[in-house]
């Protein structure tokens, strides 16, 4: 109850300034180990107040994991200016018992994914299960019990604004980038008006070219 | 400045405020500058911004533990009816091309604008407001259109085009403590609507902007039949709702939906004996009542509110209170005559299984006259099974209360029980109070009330000419690795999964291959109504053997939501006429929709364009190692 009262006191301020990040209410603050063998707390050190991209993988996964990792490298390339500054990528192993930091680092190296702002994570198997459930659950027992069920998804979180999105990394690069942008820090009204104007220009160009609104 | 002044307990909808003030002030607050504000001023004549300043203070969320909603006594509140939307004169005046300078969201130019110039204007402002779901509850913070939950109902006529200016006055995302996303794109389900006004999922716009949705209000078949199209293509009960990609469930859960009615000579807005009229109960709010269903869960009272419970993440929670037209377990006084109820399930997820129960516990008949707004060939009396209403479906039912003595009570039963929280004896034998959605209190007619309508005609609708399909296409609804997919892929608003030619028609097979006992998908196809040709169910996997499932009598008409249980194949046919552009198919379980069980398909104007686009699709598929989707280089 105390906490609620505390929130009440700040509700007015919250409306005029920033909202309270709620991620801590769902994201377990578990202890994890990075591919650099650094010990981190998942929420406090990696998520809090940040915009992040999270996916799940394991080093020996041969199906779509390498394909997805390649796609993530492309995404990193497109957003490299922001990576490690206001945008972070986390790849969490689904098989912590076989993926120690060294194995993850080797996987990252092999896939050209040793890049700034991109951290591979391992940890306690039980903790990772909890994380997987909280980040990717569908509230459906059959899906949520299936380990592989989450390797093909990417969670996008902006903790500062409580935005949770998800996208299939195998969607088009343009779409993945757009989804990430949907979780970007809010823009000023003028900025959004300007974006709206530019979008209209692109629509008009398409209509001129093809006779209708084709892609944009 | 404004939020601290906001009166927590006061419902802002009560006090009309000036639209100019509301928006001006808001824009100044949010943008900190007058530059943008000057551009998006609306006229004083525009519809009152019911949710104008002071904005209700944002909600304080009640933690993460799923609460049990507070107790509410049954049958305290009267059933409210959403008010008819009031036409206004829009300023700036609507334009064919997007009025970017005035703050309109980017879009392609309106199609067939001069042909269907909008004669009626509406202004629908999405804004936060407080709503009381029950006398025993404190107000809850919702997102509503014009301060009403459900939204005011536009009452439109075929042949009278209208335009609805949807304005986004929701809080900026950094000021938004809810888990809705304050960007909207509004779909009229299932209007025969040009693409740029169809609420395409990725065409959303943020606070401070508006968008004019042009509703030509024509029957499908304008090019074929001339005038305003083929009257046999009429549908009368529609609804509009936010369609924001990845946040449709939350935004609808918060209240961004409402009904939309279309009248014509056959189904006029009155019950008088005019030529061609079916003479069904049709006085809006008097004998023709929307029943807009939703489920919600409420937090304990705090700060003068009972907020709706929300958790962070992408899916809203399942409710434990059943809501009809915004109220929990309301009652309605009905005269001993026929009434029409337009039942709509607004989701996000809950499907309803409804029956009418007499006070002796037996089931009373209801007569279904329309499904998804389309009149059935003939009325279907349902008296021995419940009515299955899945998300986004509409059922128009007639209940004849003259069959009940004055003073009797009749109950609408939902198969799943809600949490009432007050010990109440069963209102009827075998009917626990938790299963009661609402109560009808039957009273005698009086001379001031409209006299009863004639018996329901035995023939309600002539079906349009049978569709001879120009092509066949299959849509597979699957669940792979935890992803809800259509034809193996998640929604990608930049990717076109199928292209059809304007003026053509196709047979589509909707297939759900998940294991029996798994997800049912209420599949919604935008743009035109279709016919179910057949329904089959897989009885064995290897070899693949299907058996025919006989169609229910209420499946024999036209519709736009196709229930697709596991292992089912629905074969349906539809036409694509009059307009072109980008359209959607999706599962209307909004959690699945937000998980991107949705596809974009396009209607194109020329054979040349069709061939080109189909070739592009097949080239893309080949690059991805998939077999081509079309024969003969895209020519079907
Ligand atoms: Cu579904």
DSSP string of B163-205? EEEEEE-SPPGGG--SSS-S-B-EEEET----GGGS--TT--B
Task: Please state the ipTM of this predicted complex.
Answer: 0.84
The whole-angstrom separation of Cα B191 and Cα B212 is 15
Contact B338, B397 (CB under 8 A): no
Q: A56 with A162, same domain?
A: yes
Contact B307, B140 (CB under 8 A): yes
Give the mean pLDDT of chain B.
89
For B237-291, the pLDDT digits (tens) are 999 999 999 899 999 999 999 999 999 999 999 999 999 999 999 999 999 999 9
Residue B425 in domain: no
- A-chain residues within 8 Å CB-CB of B63? 3-4, 25
Q: A133 with A145, same domain?
A: yes
Q: A45 with A113, same domain?
A: yes
What is the bridge-based pairing of β-strands B363-364 and B352-358?
Answer: antiparallel
User: Does residue B92 carry a pLDDT above 60?
Assistant: yes
What is the bridge-based pairing of β-strands A31-34 and A118-123?
Answer: antiparallel
**Interface subset of A 123-162, CB within 8 angstroms of B:** 136-140, 142-144, 146, 148-153, 160-162
Q: What is the CATH number of the domain that holds B478?
A: 2.60.40.420
CB pairs under 8 A between A and B: 176
Query: Nearest by CB to A26, which of B312, B480, B596?
Result: B312
Residue B547 has what pLDDT?
Answer: 96
Residue B217 has what pLDDT?
Answer: 98
Q: A58 with A155, same domain?
A: yes
Please count the structural domains in chain B: 2
What is the bridge-based pairing of β-strands B505-512 and B568-575?
Answer: antiparallel
Contact B23, B86 (CB under 8 A): no
- How far does residue B565's CA lie from ligand 1's centre (Å)? 9
Determine if the peptide bond prior to B77 is cis (ω within 30°).
Answer: no
Residue B22 has what pLDDT?
Answer: 34
User: Does residue B444 carry a pLDDT above 90?
Assistant: yes
Q: What is the CATH number of the domain that holds A178?
A: 3.40.30.10
The whole-angstrom separation of Cα A18 and Cα B481 is 37
- How far does residue B522's CA lie from ligand 1's centre (Å)? 6
For A175-199, the pLDDT digits (tens) are 889 889 989 998 999 999 999 999 9
Q: A91 with A49, same domain?
A: yes
* Closest-CA residue to A187 (of A161, A166, A155): A161
> Which of the residue ranges A9-13, B161-165, B197-201 would you say has the lowest mean pLDDT?
A9-13
Q: Per-residue confidence at B542, pLDDT binned at 50, 70, 90?
A: confident
User: Does residue B41 carry a pLDDT above 70?
Assistant: no
Q: Which tokens go with A16? A: 């005029």
Q: Which of the given ranges, B34-38, B149-153, B627-631, has the highest pLDDT on average?
A: B149-153
Candidates A68, A94, A193, A195, partner chain B, best to mutate (most B CBs within 10 A): A193
For B456-499, the pLDDT digits (tens) are 999 999 999 999 999 999 999 988 767 788 998 889 888 999 99
Contact B433, B413 (CB under 8 A): no
Q: A180 with A192, same domain?
A: no
Q: A37 with A77, same domain?
A: yes
**B245 CB contacts (<8 Å, ≥6 apart)?**
B201, B202, B204, B491, B493, B594, B596
Q: A24 with A125, same domain?
A: yes
- The more confidently predicted of residues A154 and B232 is B232
| Interchain pair B196, A211: CB under 8 A | no
Place of tokens 């959605």: B437
The answer to whether residue A186 neighbours chain B at the CB level (below 8 Å) is yes
| Interchain pair B494, A22: CB under 8 A | no
Q: Which of the given ranges, A132-146, B174-188, B391-405, has the highest pLDDT on average?
A: B391-405
User: Does residue B39 carry a pLDDT above 70?
Assistant: no
Residue B165 in domain: yes
Q: Per-residue confidence at B14, pLDDT binned at 50, 70, 90?
A: very low
- How far does residue B296's CA lie from ligand 1's centre (Å)? 20
- B-chain residues within 8 Å CB-CB of A163? 173, 181
Q: A165 with A211, same domain?
A: no
Residue B370 in domain: no
Kindly state the average pLDDT of the residues B319-334.
97
Domain that holds residue A199: 187-216
CA distances from B155 to A3, B240, B261 (A): 47, 12, 5
Strand ranges (E), chain A: 31-34, 39-41, 51-57, 87-93, 118-123, 154-158, 163-167
Q: Per-residue confidence at B153, pLDDT binned at 50, 70, 90?
A: very high
Please count the structural domains in chain A: 2
For B96-105, the pLDDT digits (tens) are 999 999 999 9
**Nearest CA of chain B to the CA of A51: how many Å?**
13
Domain that holds residue B587: 472-635
CA distances from B415 to B351, B388, B418, B439 (A): 10, 10, 10, 15
Q: A146 with A209, same domain?
A: no
User: Does residue B46 carry a pLDDT above 80?
Assistant: no
Residue B60 has what pLDDT?
Answer: 86
For A112-170, the pLDDT digits (tens) are 999 999 999 999 999 998 888 888 776 555 555 555 555 678 899 999 888 888 888 87
The answer to whether residue B177 neighbours chain A at the CB level (below 8 Å) is yes
For B340-363, the pLDDT digits (tens) are 999 999 999 999 999 999 999 999
The whole-angstrom separation of Cα B62 and Cα A19 is 15
Residue A44 has what pLDDT?
Answer: 95
Q: A112 with A194, same domain?
A: no
Residue B19 has what pLDDT?
Answer: 35
Candidates B38, B97, B98, B173, partner chain A, best to mutate (most A CBs within 10 A): B173
* Closest-CA residue to B180 (of B134, B144, B139): B144
User: Does residue A20 carry a pLDDT above 80?
Assistant: no
In three-state secondary structure terms, B499 is strand
Q: A97 with A145, same domain?
A: yes
Kindly state the average pLDDT of the residues B577-595.
94
- A-chain residues within 8 Å CB-CB of B625? none
What is the pTM (predicted TM-score) of this model?
A: 0.89
Candidates A192, A194, A199, A203, partner chain B, best to mutate (most B CBs within 10 A): A192
**Interface subset of B 70-99, CB within 8 angstroms of A:** 98
What is the bridge-based pairing of β-strands B387-389 and B288-296?
Answer: unpaired
């Amino acid at each position: 109850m105390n906490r609620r009262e505390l929130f009440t006191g700040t509700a007015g301020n919250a409306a005029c300034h920033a909202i309270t990040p709620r991620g801590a209410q769902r994201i377990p603050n578990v202890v994890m180990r990075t591919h650099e063998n650094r010990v981190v707390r998942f929420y406090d050190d990696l998520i809090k107040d940040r915009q992040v991209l999270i996916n799940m993988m394991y080093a020996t996964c041969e199906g779509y994991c390498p394909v997805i990792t390649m796609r993530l490298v492309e995404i990193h390339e497109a957003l490299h200016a922001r990576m490690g500054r206001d945008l972070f990528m986390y790849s969490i192993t689904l098989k912590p018992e076989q993926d120690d930091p060294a194995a993850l680092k080797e996987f990252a190296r092999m896939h050209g994914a040793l890049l700034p702002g991109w951290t591979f994570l391992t940890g306690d198997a039980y903790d990772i299960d909890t994380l997987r459930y909280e980040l990717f659950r569908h509230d459906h027992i059959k899906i949520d019990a299936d380990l592989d069920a989450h390797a093909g998804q990417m969670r996008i979180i902006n903790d500062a604004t409580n935005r949770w999105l998800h996208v299939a990394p195998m969607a088009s690069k343009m779409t993945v980038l757009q989804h990430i942008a949907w979780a970007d820090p809010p823009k000023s009204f003028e900025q959004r008006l300007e974006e709206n104007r530019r979008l209209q220009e692109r629509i008009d160009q398409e209509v001129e070219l093809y006779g209708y609104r084709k892609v944009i | 400045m404004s939020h601290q002044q906001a009166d927590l307990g006061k419902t802002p909808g009560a006090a009309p405020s000036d639209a100019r003030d509301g928006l001006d002030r808001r824009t100044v607050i949010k943008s900190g500058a007058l530059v943008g504000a000057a551009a998006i001023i609306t006229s004083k004549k525009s519809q009152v911004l019911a949710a104008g300043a002071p904005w209700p203070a944002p909600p304080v969320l009640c933690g993460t533990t799923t609460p049990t909603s507070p107790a509410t006594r049954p049958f305290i509140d009267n059933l409210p009816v959403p008010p008819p939307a009031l036409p206004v004169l829009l300023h700036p005046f609507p334009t064919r091309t997007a009025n970017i300078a005035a703050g309109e969201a980017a879009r392609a130019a309106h199609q067939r604008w001069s042909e269907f110039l909008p004669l009626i204007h509406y202004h629908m402002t999405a804004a936060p407001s407080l709503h009381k779901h029950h006398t025993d509850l404190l107000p809850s913070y919702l997102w509503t259109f014009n301060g009403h939950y459900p939204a005011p109902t536009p009452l439109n006529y075929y042949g009278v085009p209208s335009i609805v200016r949807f304005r986004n006055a929701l809080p900026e995302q950094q000021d938004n403590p809810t888990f809705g996303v304050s960007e909207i794109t509004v779909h009229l389900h299932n209007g025969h609507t040009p693409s740029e006004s169809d609420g395409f999922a990725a065409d959303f716009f943020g606070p401070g902007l508006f968008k004019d949705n042009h509703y030509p209000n024509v029957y499908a078949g304008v090019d074929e039949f001339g005038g305003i199209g083929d009257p046999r293509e009429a549908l009368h009960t529609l609804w509009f709702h936010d369609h924001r990609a990845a946040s449709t469930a939350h935004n609808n859960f918060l209240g961004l939906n409402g009904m939309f009615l279309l009248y014509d000579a056959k189904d006029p807005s009155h019950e008088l004996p005019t030529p061609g009229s079916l003479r069904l109960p049709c006085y809006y709010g008097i004998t023709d009542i929307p029943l807009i269903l939703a489920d919600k869960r409420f937090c304990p009272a705090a700060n003068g509110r009972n907020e709706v419970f929300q958790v962070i993440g992408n899916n809203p929670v399942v409710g434990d209170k059943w809501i009809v037209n915004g109220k929990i377990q309301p009652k309605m006084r009905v005269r001993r005559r026929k009434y029409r109820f337009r039942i709509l399930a607004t989701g996000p997820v809950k499907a309803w299984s409804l029956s009418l129960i007499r006070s002796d516990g037996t089931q009373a008949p209801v007569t279904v006259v329309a499904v998804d707004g389309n009149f059935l060939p003939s009325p279907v009396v349902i008296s021995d099974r419940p009515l299955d209403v899945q998300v986004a479906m509409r059922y128009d039912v007639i209940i004849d209360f003259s069959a009940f003595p004055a003073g009797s009570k009749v109950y609408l039963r939902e198969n799943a029980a809600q949490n009432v929280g007050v010990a109440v004896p069963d209102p009827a034998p075998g009917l626990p109070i938790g299963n009661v959605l609402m109560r009808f209190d039957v009273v005698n007619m009086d001379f001031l009330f409209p006299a009863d309508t004639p018996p329901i005609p035995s023939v309600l609708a002539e079906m349009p000419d049978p569709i001879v399909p120009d092509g066949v296409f299959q849509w597979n609804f699957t669940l792979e690795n935890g992803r809800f997919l259509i034809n193996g892929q998640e929604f990608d608003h930049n990717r076109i999964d199928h292209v059809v030619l304007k003026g053509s028609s196709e047979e589509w097979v909707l297939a759900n291959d998940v294991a029996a006992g798994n997800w049912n998908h209420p599949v919604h196809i935008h743009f035109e109504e279709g016919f179910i040709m057949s329904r089959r169910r897989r009885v064995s996997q290897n070899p693949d053997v299907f058996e025919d499932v006989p169609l229910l009598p209420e499946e024999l008409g036209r519709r736009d939501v196709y229930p697709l249980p596991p292992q089912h194949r629905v074969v349906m046919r539809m036409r694509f006429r009059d307009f072109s552009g980008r359209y959607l198919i999706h599962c209307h379980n909004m959690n699945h929709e937000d998980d991107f069980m949705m596809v974009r398909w396009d209607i194109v104007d020329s054979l040349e364009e069709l061939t080109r686009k189909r070739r592009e699709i097949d080239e893309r598929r080949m690059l991805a190692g998939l077999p081509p989707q079309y024969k003969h280089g895209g020519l079907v």
